[in-house]
């Protein structure tokens, strides 16, 4: 570096000398003049043009800042992150928490990556500036661009241009030299910082390795051997170093994962808008008669608290690699939100206990930053653990979490007690770091369990509000089984709650990376079955896609107005068989997508198809026959949804045309599943292929002395007055038999709807009975 600076200084001196010294020694002038006199003007012009081009290039390059300001600012941030980490390592010695060491390692790795990029950038800039400086030096010493007073050649005509070039070269050399010096110094600073971080990273890696090797070994004196002396002067230093280190971890994590946080905030913003506008709709006169929003415990017209409960509970799902301080702050904010929510629901005793949990939680967080080897510190930590055990015994089972199963509550409560007991034992045996980890994990687990119960309640109330609005407007939820939907959502929310609890638990216990790596290894490890190679992730993806496509094709009819609720007055009506075609497309697309996701190659897929063909030949004929029949029914359309058909001994309305089977609703209200092969191969009567008219018939026996004309007139009159019959088609009355004392009559009546045959026939018979009695016609 020093030699380069001397070289640059000499270059500047050469430039000054070339401008100020008018001539050299006489013999040199003569030789130079003789040599230059041989140069033609075209050569001189070419040199001048080249020099001007180089000067312009250097001037443009000197306007570039080479990212110096950006690198300086970034280097200052890296050093600012480095200082608290080094201070925490010095202040806590061997008792730095393992999770903090991992987070420190992430910050340092990020710093090393930035420094590596900056070193590469600065090295290129340094070489580029040195090349420019060499070009300036070469042009400054070029004899063709030098002129003196005794010159008699054509160069005297270009004296002004040559002097201008000399001055511009001098300015360019000075500026380039200054920039080169700046870049060189910054490069040296970056390299020194890189070396410092590398050494600190090596120390952290050594401690991490020793920590993993000595997880359950003594890291501090036994409790009875702990020093009784306590230096109060060291407490601020310990607290400050721990806080600064944690704050750097927190700041780094927040800045590195901002995209996940934005996505989560947008999702919760949509949830807020969903609840807010649904509440406004529920206040309108029409839905207000059917909805009672006042019964909601968590939802309010302005659902701020409910949205915060959702936001803070879903945070671990979007940020599973969050550091311990981030989790602790998130859980404390969640505690505050729950306090606002439960303030009016808790009794006075429960509220005192709940606030005590929050206070002791903050004390535990502070204790984790301060507690070291001294006896009084460790006794204070044990006292906190005992206090939390007492809270777990008298209060934990009374926390509001009604939608979480008793088995989960029992497991979490038991684990809560075991962790605190282990924390006390480990503290006594000198494993302070593990004792802190177990204690804070247990408390956060208890708070989070309560929060997840509130989370499930918020989502279920939001769903209830949506269901009530949809039902009042005869929307989607008016066509489904509400109780089934609630049960399904409750199961799904319970699964999400357990997943969130486990994520936070593993993060706090310091085993998140290990668990995730194990799961990743299990799911992505290649496995072989004969010549077929697969992974469990492929199998899992295949199964999920097949399940979702099956679920979608079963319920896609709801979007077309199809209902899952049986009703005698339901008018399925004009739904065409395009719904079955949509289901077929969904199934085929799902199968193809599942195969593509599974990673099965085309040649292996042909082998699978061959195996399926063998299976079809052995025992799947009926399934394939029904499937093909379903495809034929879709395109041939012998009937459509809502048609009244008769097949063998069954009559009813077609409710659904599926891929393998179809469903029929009988007049008795039962649902009959009919394989599509039977619909296509057997004799099928469609009573409503052209219209919904139906000719119903019944028999009557009247006495032999009855006037048949009067009987005919009474029947026609009652049929014409009965709503639901075709008035332009009179009843047909025919004599089918004559007995010793009676006449057998067959009466045929046209009805406007095949669906109302039973009810209309009953009404007509009742009216005929009354009319015959009035006309003294005896029925036999």
Secondary structure string (H, E, C) spanning 514-579: HHHHHHHHHHHCCEEECCEEECHHHHHHHHHHHHHHHHHHHHHHHHHCCCCCCCCCCCCCCCCCHH
Do 374 and 331 have their domain in common? yes
Do 641 and 742 have their domain in common? no
Do 262 and 120 have their domain in common? no
Least confident window among 45-59, 479-493, 565-579: 565-579
H-only helix segments in 343-430: 348-370, 375-394, 406-428
pLDDT of 93 reads 54
pLDDT of 271 reads 92
pLDDT of 91 reads 62
Place 98 in a pLDDT band, splitting at 50, 70 and 90. Answer: low
Average pLDDT, the chain: 75
Encode pLDDT of 276-324 as tens digits: 988 888 777 766 666 655 567 788 888 899 999 999 998 888 877 777 7
Burial-class residue 145 by CB neighbours within 10 Å (0-12, 13-18, 19+). buried
In a domain, 344, yes or no: yes
pLDDT of 261 reads 85
**Domain termination residue (choose one: 157, 181, 213):** 213
In a domain, 359, yes or no: yes
Do 664 and 731 have their domain in common? no
Do 676 and 532 have their domain in common? yes
Helix (H) or strand (E) run with residue 669 in it: none
pLDDT of 613 reads 64
Least confident window among 74-78, 125-129, 164-168: 164-168
- Does 617 score more than 80 pLDDT? no
- Does 573 score more than 60 pLDDT? no
- Does 2 score more than 60 pLDDT? no
**Going edge to edge, which strands form the sheet with 742-751?**
694-703, 742-751, 732-738
Mean pLDDT in residue range 192-197: 88
The boundaries of the domain holding residue 680 are: 525-564+571-684
Encode pLDDT of 330-351 as tens digits: 889 999 999 998 888 888 887 8
Overall number of domains in the chain: 4
Alpha-carbon torsion angle 433, 436, 441, 443, nearest 10: 180
pLDDT of 136 reads 75
3-state secondary structure of 650: strand
pLDDT of 347 reads 80
In a domain, 188, yes or no: yes
pLDDT of 213 reads 55
Check residues 74 and 290 and name the one with the higher pLDDT.
Answer: 74
In a domain, 553, yes or no: yes
Burial-class residue 78 by CB neighbours within 10 Å (0-12, 13-18, 19+). buried
- Does 270 score more than 90 pLDDT? yes
C-alpha 26/C-alpha 438 separation (Å) is 92
pLDDT of 268 reads 92
Place of tokens 């001539």: 23
Place 421 in a pLDDT band, splitting at 50, 70 and 90. Answer: very high
Q: Are residues 371 and 377 in contact, defined by beta-carbon separation less than 8 angstroms?
A: yes
Q: If we measure between CA atoms, which residue out of 538, 532, 667, 522 comes closest to residue 595?
A: 538
C-alpha 708/C-alpha 712 separation (Å) is 6
How wide is the angle at C-alpha 749 spanned by C-alphas 743 and 755, nearest 5°? 135
In a domain, 288, yes or no: yes
3-state secondary structure of 722: coil
3-state secondary structure of 737: strand
Q: What percent of the chain has pLDDT over 70?
A: 71
In a domain, 519, yes or no: no
**Domain termination residue (choose one: 657, 684, 711):** 684
Least confident window among 318-332, 382-396, 676-690: 676-690
CA–chain centroid gap for 365, Å, is 30
**Domain termination residue (choose one: 213, 246, 275):** 213
In a domain, 242, yes or no: no
pLDDT of 400 reads 63
Place 15 in a pLDDT band, splitting at 50, 70 and 90. Answer: very low
- Does 197 score more than 60 pLDDT? yes
Nearby residues of 648 by Cβ (< 8 Å), 6 or more positions away: 682, 683
Record the tokens describing residue 604, joined without a space.
Answer: 């292996």
Do 365 and 431 have their domain in common? yes
Q: If we measure between CA atoms, which residue out of 372, 381, 431, 79 comes closest to residue 242?
A: 372
Helix (H) or strand (E) run with residue 623 in it: helix 621-636
Do 610 and 699 have their domain in common? no
Q: Strand pairing of 650-657 and 694-703?
A: unpaired
Do 92 and 123 have their domain in common? yes
Mean pLDDT in residue range 428-433: 82
Mean pLDDT in residue range 660-672: 79
Do 597 and 652 have their domain in common? yes
Least confident window among 401-405, 486-490, 769-773: 401-405
Encode pLDDT of 203-218 as tens digits: 888 776 766 555 555 5
pLDDT of 618 reads 57
Do 679 and 721 have their domain in common? no
Place of tokens 């001037």: 59
Place of tokens 């290649």: 526
pLDDT of 620 reads 61
* Total residues found in the chain within this entry: 780
Least confident window among 15-19, 239-243, 381-385, 500-504: 15-19
Q: How far is CA 254 from each of CA 247, 260, 327, 556, 607, rounded to the nearest angstrom?
A: 10, 10, 12, 41, 51
Encode pLDDT of 18-53 as tens digits: 444 343 333 444 444 444 444 445 666 677 777 777
Sign of CA dihedral 173, 176, 182, 187: negative
Do 536 and 500 have their domain in common? no
pLDDT of 311 reads 92
In a domain, 389, yes or no: yes
Encode pLDDT of 685-740 as tens digits: 776 655 556 678 888 888 888 888 888 888 888 888 888 787 667 788 888 888 87
Record the tokens describing residue 73, joined without a space.
Answer: 């600012």
Q: How far is CA 87 from each of CA 264, 543, 547, rounded to the nearest angstrom?
A: 34, 51, 54
Do 499 and 614 have their domain in common? no
CA–chain centroid gap for 667, Å, is 47
pLDDT of 288 reads 63
Q: How far is CA 120 from each of CA 65, 116, 125, 302, rounded to the nearest angstrom?
A: 16, 6, 9, 54
Place 145 in a pLDDT band, splitting at 50, 70 and 90. Answer: low
- pTM for the whole structure: 0.60
């Amino acid at each position: 570096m020093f030699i380069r600076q001397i070289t640059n200084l000499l270059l500047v001196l050469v430039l000054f000398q070339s401008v100020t010294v008018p001539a050299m020694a006489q013999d040199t002038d003569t030789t130079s003049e003789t040599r230059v006199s041989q140069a033609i003007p075209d050569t001189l012009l070419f040199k001048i043009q080249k020099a001007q081009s180089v000067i312009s290039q250097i001037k443009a390059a000197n306007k570039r800042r080479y990212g110096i300001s950006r690198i300086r600012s970034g280097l200052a941030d890296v050093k600012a992150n480095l200082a608290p980490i080094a201070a925490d390592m010095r202040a806590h010695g061997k008792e730095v928490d393992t999770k903090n060491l991992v987070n420190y390692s992430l910050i340092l790795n990020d710093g090393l990556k930035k420094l590596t990029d900056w070193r590469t950038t600065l090295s290129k800039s340094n070489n580029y500036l040195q090349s420019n400086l060499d070009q300036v030096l070469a042009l400054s010493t070029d004899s063709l661009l030098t002129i003196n007073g005794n010159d008699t050649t054509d160069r005297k005509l270009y004296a002004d241009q040559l002097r201008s070039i000399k001055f511009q070269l001098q300015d360019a050399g000075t500026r380039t030299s200054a920039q080169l010096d700046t870049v060189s110094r910054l490069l040296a600073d970056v390299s020194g910082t890189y070396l410092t971080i590398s050494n600190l990273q090596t120390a952290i890696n050594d401690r991490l390795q020793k920590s993993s090797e000595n997880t359950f070994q003594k890291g501090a004196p036994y409790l009875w051997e702990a020093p009784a002396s306590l230096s109060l002067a060291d407490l601020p230093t310990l607290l400050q170093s721990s806080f600064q280190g944690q704050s750097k971890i927190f700041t780094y994590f927040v800045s590195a994962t901002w995209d996940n946080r934005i996505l989560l905030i947008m999702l919760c913003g949509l949830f807020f808008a969903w609840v807010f506008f649904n509440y406004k709709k529920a206040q309108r006169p029409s839905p207000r008669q059917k909805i009672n929003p006042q019964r909601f415990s968590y939802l309010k017209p302005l659902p701020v608290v409910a949205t915060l409960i959702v936001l803070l509970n879903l945070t671990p799902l979007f940020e599973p690699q969050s550091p311990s301080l981030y989790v602790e702050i998130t859980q404390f904010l969640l505690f505050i939100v729950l306090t606002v929510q439960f303030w009016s629901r808790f009794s006075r005793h429960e509220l005192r206990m709940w606030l005590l949990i929050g206070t002791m939680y903050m004390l535990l967080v502070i204790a984790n930053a301060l507690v070291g080897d001294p006896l009084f510190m460790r006794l204070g930590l044990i006292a906190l653990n005992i206090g939390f055990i007492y809270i777990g015994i008298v209060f934990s089972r009374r926390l509001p979490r009604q939608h979480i199963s008793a088995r989960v509550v029992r497991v979490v409560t038991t684990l809560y007690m075991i962790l605190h007991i282990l924390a006390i034992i480990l503290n006594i045996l000198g494993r302070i770091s593990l004792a802190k980890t177990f204690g804070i994990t247990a408390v956060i687990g208890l708070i989070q369990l309560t929060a997840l119960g509130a989370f499930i309640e918020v989502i279920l109330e939001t769903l209830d509000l949506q269901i009530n609005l949809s039902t009042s407007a005869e929307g989607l939820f008016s066509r489904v089984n509400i109780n089934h939907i609630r049960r399904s959502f409750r199961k799904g929310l319970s699964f999400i709650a357990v997943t969130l609890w486990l994520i936070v638990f593993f993060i706090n216990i310091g085993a998140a990376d290990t668990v995730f790596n194990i799961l990743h290894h299990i799911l992505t490890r290649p496995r072989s079955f004969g010549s077929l190679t697969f992974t469990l992730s492929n199998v899992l993806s295949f199964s999920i896609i097949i399940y979702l496509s099956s679920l979608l094709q079963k319920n896609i009819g709801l979007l077309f107005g199809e209902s899952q609720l049986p009703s005698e007055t339901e008018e399925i009506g004009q739904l065409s068989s395009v719904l079955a075609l949509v289901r077929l497309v969904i199934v085929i697309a799902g199968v193809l997508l599942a195969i593509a996701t599974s990673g099965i190659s085309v040649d292996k897929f042909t082998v699978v198809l061959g195996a399926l063909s063998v299976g079809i030949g052995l025992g799947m004929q009926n399934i394939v026959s029904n499937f093909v029949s379903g495809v034929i029914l879709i395109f041939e359309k012998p009937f459509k949804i809502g048609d009244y058909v008769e097949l063998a001994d069954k009559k009813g309305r077609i409710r659904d045309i599926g891929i393998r089977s179809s469903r029929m609703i009988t007049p008795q209200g039962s649902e009959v599943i009919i394989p599509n092969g039977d619909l296509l191969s057997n004799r099928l009567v469609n009573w409503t292929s052209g219209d919904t008219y139906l000719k119903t018939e019944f028999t009557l026996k009247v006495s032999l002395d009855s006037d048949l004309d009067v009987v005919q007139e009474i029947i026609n009159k009652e049929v014409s007055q009965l709503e639901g019959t075709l008035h332009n088609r009179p009843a047909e009355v025919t004599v089918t038999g004559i007995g010793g004392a009676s006449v057998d009559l067959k009466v045929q009546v046209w009805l406007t709807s095949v669906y109302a045959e039973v009810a209309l026939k009953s009404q007509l018979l009742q009216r005929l009975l009354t009319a015959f009695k009035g006309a003294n016609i005896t029925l036999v």
